[in-house]
Each structure stands twice: as C-alpha cells, then as structure tokens.
Amino acid sequence: MERTLILLKPDALQRSLLGEIISRFERKGLKIIGLKMMQLKKETLDEHYAQHQDKAFFDKLERFMMSGPVIAMILEGIEAVSTVRLIVGPTSGRKADVGSIRGDFSMSQQHNIVHASDSVETAKQEIYRFFNEEELFDYQKIDFATVYSEEERENI
Ligand code: CMP
C-alpha cells in the first residue's frame, strides 16, 4: 500500500487549521499511520529542500519552516501520493482550485499550509527523514472494506 508524508506547516498551526486539515484526509478514507509535532532543525530542512538550495527564497523558506512546530503525518492508501497531492492543490494558494486545502486556506506561494510528497520515490525518502520505523503503526482499520471495493482490496 502506498504511503506519503505530509507536513502541516507553521502557518497551519498559527491559523488553527490542524483539525480541519487532518479531518479532510480522514474523511477521504486515507489511513493515518504516523502523527507527531516536531520543531524542525536546519540540517533536516537543508536535506528536505535540497532542490531549492540555489533559489532566492531558500533562506526565508527555512526560517519560515523553523518559525514554530510542524505536524508531521504519514498517510496510507491506494495511490495515496497522487490522491493527497490533489487534495492539497498546487504550490500557490492563489492558483489552487477552491476545494483543495491550499485553494481554501492559503493566499501565498510560501505560506501554503501543507507539504505533501510529490512522487512515490520522494515519499519513500521523506517518510524516513521525519519518522523512525517504530513511529509507524500497522493496524487494521474497520472501514477498510467500505472505503475500497472487493477488487481493489484483492489487488493490493
Ligand atoms: P512545498 O510543497 O513544501 O515545497 C517547496 C516549498 O518552497 C513550497 O512548498 C513553498 O512553501 C516554497 N516555495 C516554492 N516556490 C516559492 C517561491 N517562488 N517563493 C517562495 N517560496 C516558494
């Protein structure tokens, strides 16, 4: 089953949106298998945003991500990576469709409420950047047979 990393950024916490955002993922049928509050360190962010290190906004992005704690979360589901990206919307809150998290709650390109892994490969690296194996929970969720069809469950 696919897994993906979500970070609820410091602006989500400051704007009291944690419950709303977590609820959207839960109501979709995604399974939460890891969840914690963390104060991010520069070393972690240097690695996490390595592809942006030459960009003019890099230092400000790191400062913003260290301006308060974040909520890190691992979600599991069939095609969880692409499904979560649809729920989150594109980078700029001003361009994201209404109905997506960024479209509904963000007016910014940087203060865009959430981070979500952009591919299955990236997700595999990002999950273990923020979580240890013992922080990931393998449990049966009772709505599994309702969320997915018999055929989908057989092909996992
Ligand atoms: P995220 O999905 O975490 O991935 C990289 C982050 O860089 C992005 O969300 C934004 O917060 C930030 N970002 C991307 N483009 C810009 C930009 N042009 N100016 C400032 N911040 C940006």
* Atom of ligand 1 at shortest range from CA of 7: 3
State how many domains the chain has.
Answer: 1
Q: Which neighbouring-strand residues pair with 148? A: none
Mutate to test the pocket of ligand 1, among 58, 67, 110 (most ligand atoms within 8 A of CB): 110
Q: Supply the range of the domain harboring residue 69.
A: 2-136
Q: Which helix (H) or strand (E) holds 76?
A: strand 70-77
Q: Would residue 142 count as lying in a domain?
A: no
Residue 7 alpha carbon to ligand 1 centre in Å: 13
For the segment 103-118, the average pLDDT, to the nearest whole number, is 98
Of the candidates 86, 108, 82, 84, the one whose C-alpha atom is nearest the C-alpha of residue 95 is: 108
Q: How confident is the model at residue 105 (pLDDT cuts 50, 70, 90)?
A: very high
Residues with Cβ within 6 A of ligand 1? Answer: 52, 57, 61, 91, 109-110, 112, 115
The answer to whether the CB of 30 falls within 8 A of the CB of 76 is yes
Q: How many CB atoms lie within 10 A of CB 115?
A: 19
* Atom of ligand 1 at shortest range from CA of 9: 3
For the segment 114-136, the average pLDDT, to the nearest whole number, is 98
Q: Would residue 153 count as lying in a domain?
A: no
Percent of the chain with pLDDT over 90: 100
Side chain identity, residue 33: I
Mean pLDDT score of the chain, rounded to an integer?
Answer: 98
Residue 97 alpha carbon to ligand 1 centre in Å: 17
Tell me how far apart the alpha carbons of residues 156 and 154 are, in angstroms, rounded to a whole number: 6
Residue 156 alpha carbon to ligand 1 centre in Å: 33
Q: Would residue 70 count as lying in a domain?
A: yes
Q: Give how far Cα 96 sits from Cα of 11, 78, 131, Å.
A: 17, 24, 29
Q: How confident is the model at residue 66 (pLDDT cuts 50, 70, 90)?
A: very high
Q: Would residue 147 count as lying in a domain?
A: no
What digits encode the pLDDT tens for the residues 5-36? 999 999 999 999 999 999 999 999 999 999 99
CATH number reported for the structural domain that contains residue 38 in this entry: 3.30.70.141
State yes or no: is 115 an active-site residue.
yes
